[in-house]
């Protein structure tokens, strides 16, 4: 059997579900946003306040460097409080999470007509993998 990539909708839905599961295991109340909610995929309660999260999932078959971009349309998604970029290893289905504030996501975003991207090398330089501490001081960095 040959390992194949998931479709974009499957990958996106899986990333959202993995995000909600991870946030809940960290003791945060997290929920999938209603279908079609503008500008975000997940809601998480931080400090008693709801915060929005835009989740972008990319998958790889052999190495994370296969992921060349996380497409982000800031004109549609730019109001999200946080962005979570996921590298999904299809061999193990193990996600690596990169959690960014809105400001951090904008700093690594490159705009072009009709869209834009956040590039993994820039994200990896700025954010440690599996570091959820930006969501609360009591949340530690998880081991990869």
Give per-residue pLDDT as tens, 56-113.
999 999 999 999 999 888 777 778 999 999 999 999 999 999 999 999 998 988 887 7
pLDDT > 90? residue 138: no
The model's confidence at residue 1, banded by pLDDT at 50, 70 and 90, is low
**CATH classification for the domain delimited by 8-135, as one of 3.40.720.10, 3.40.50.720, 3.40.50.970, 3.40.1350.10:** 3.40.1350.10
What is the residue extent of each domain of the chain?
8-135
Q: Chain-wide mean pLDDT for the chain?
A: 88
Percent of the chain past pLDDT 70, that is, above it, reads: 92
CA distances from residue 39 to 1, 82, 142 in whole angstroms, order as listed? 38, 11, 27
Distance CA 55, CA 50 (A): 16
Distance CA 29, CA 136 (A): 12
Asked if 97 and 129 touch (Cβ cutoff 8 Å), the reply is yes
CA distances from residue 14 to 5, 9, 50, 111, 132 in whole angstroms, order as listed? 12, 8, 22, 26, 19
Distance CA 132, CA 138 (A): 10
Distance CA 102, CA 99 (A): 10
User: Is the entire prediction scored with pTM above 0.85?
Assistant: yes
**Which DSSP helix (H) or strand (E) runs through 105?**
helix 102-108
Parallel/antiparallel/unpaired status of strands 70-71 and 49-60: unpaired
113-124 average pLDDT score: 86
Q: Please give the biggest Cα pair distance in the chain.
A: 47
Distance CA 66, CA 59 (A): 8
């Amino acid at each position: 059997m040959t390992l194949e990539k998931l479709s974009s909708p499957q990958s996106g839905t899986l990333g959202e579900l993995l995000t909600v599961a991870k946030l809940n295991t960290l003791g945060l109340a997290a929920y999938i946003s209603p279908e079609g909610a503008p500008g975000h995929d997940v809601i998480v309660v931080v400090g008693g306040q709801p915060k929005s999260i835009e989740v972008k999932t990319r998958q790889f078959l052999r190495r994370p460097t296969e992921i060349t971009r996380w497409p982000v349309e800031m004109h549609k998604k730019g109001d999200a409080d946080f962005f979570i970029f996921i590298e999904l290893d299809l061999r193990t289905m193990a996600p690596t999470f990169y959690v960014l504030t809105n400001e951090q996501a904008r700093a690594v975003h490159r705009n072009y007509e009709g869209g834009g991207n956040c590039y993994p090398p820039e994200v990896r330089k700025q954010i440690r993998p599996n570091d959820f501490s930006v969501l609360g001081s009591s949340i530690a960095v998880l081991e990869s």
